[in-house]
Amino acid sequence: MERITWDQFFMAQSHLLALRSTCTRLAVGATIVREKRIIAGGYNGSISGDEHCTEKGCYVVDNHCVRTIHAETNALLQCAKYGTQANGADLYVTHFPCLPCTKTIIQAGIKNVFYAKDYKNNPYALELFAKANVNVVHVPFDGVKIDFLKDEKLTLAVNMLEKLRGLGASSEELLPFEEKVNELFGRFIKA
């Protein structure tokens, strides 16, 4: 297995946190890091003890769910709750922060924001980050690199293609499937 970079490692942590999200509109995860050590993490969801969007549906006001605390804010609140300084730390988040989270990130003293996916990137948020000297870096997340079953899935795909070939599927019929296997696994499968 190929060794992933630190940025991919921390982004993977954020994607894992997003799997805990109770938001039905968009699952987001955030990881706060200092000196290559995780100091806090958060995902978007309801406050402790309240109903979750997965249970009661979103509580939408002005096209925004007011039931949800955003992942970045939850991670920063975790720092505050347990007495861990966020000042000078890095933030890894699955999606570009919204404007209110941008303000919170800046006020908390985060120095670098790494995000995996563009999401309604607000120009004013970018302006605020620039004014506050917060470095913002797009780090596309490559989930294939953390797929623990990648080799088994590739073997299954190859075996299925061979079975189809043995049952009489033509090269032309198999070509789109072989191309998809090559795209997903980054390996060359030949008819």
Q: What are phi and psi of 139, to 5 degrees?
A: -120, 90
> Of 72, 173, 178, 183, which residue is the catalytic one?
72
What angle, rounded to 10 degrees, do the helices at 6-18 and 71-82 form? 100
Contact 47, 91 (CB under 8 A): no
DSSP element (H, E) containing 91: strand 90-95
Examine the residue annotation and report whether 152 is marked as an active-site residue of this protein: no
DSSP element (H, E) containing 39: strand 37-43
Locate 81 and state its tokens: 């709750």
Maximum Cα interatomic distance, the chain, rounded to a whole number of Å: 65
Tell me the catalytic residues. Answer: 72
